[in-house]
Amino acid sequence: MQKNINIQNKKARFEYEILDKYVAGIQLTGTEIKSIRQSKARITESFCEFNDRGELFVVNMYIEEYAFGHHYNHKPKSERRLLLNKRELKKLEKEVESKGNTIVPLRLFINENGWAKLEIALGKGKKTHDKRQTIKDRDSKRNLDRIKKQFK
């Protein structure tokens, strides 16, 4: 049995206000999927962008080289194409160009069929005061949970 692969980008939820989410397939080579199945990937510094033909690519996603790949290995930080419907791609491209939003990856996982999927989100960058408010809310929730735990 294969273990559950769930690589998350927690930094994205703090840096961006999430407007809309999509699940996209990734075009990978053989050694890339083998490294992902060993949980040897990072998406914290990655982002998504469109090329001149309207295709969506994830940039800066790090997938470690496969240990047994030899000369068939992949480049760790190459651009990888995301697979979405044409309608979804057009909608995302329009949102990014017109309103200045960005597309960030939230989660890299393997679905029940064994395919690698990337959950991406259309996000708008948070201002500094919004980030401070997020920190305050997180701290107050943590304190409330501690108090509740003491009285149980």
pLDDT at 114: 86
H-assigned helices in 16-122? 30-37, 86-99
Give pLDDT, residue 21.
94
The Cβ of residue 22 has, within 10 Å, a number of other Cβ atoms equal to 19
- Determine how many CB atoms are found less than 10 A away from the CB of residue 26: 20
Question: Where does 27-139 show beta strands of DSSP type E?
Answer: 41-42, 47-50, 56-59, 62-63, 80-83, 102-110, 116-125
**pLDDT confidence of residue 1:** 40
Res. 2 pLDDT band, cuts 50 70 90? low
pTM across the whole model: 0.81
User: Tokens 């960030």 map to which residue?
Assistant: 104
Arithmetic mean of pLDDT over the chain: 89
Q: What per-residue confidence (pLDDT) applies to 72?
A: 76
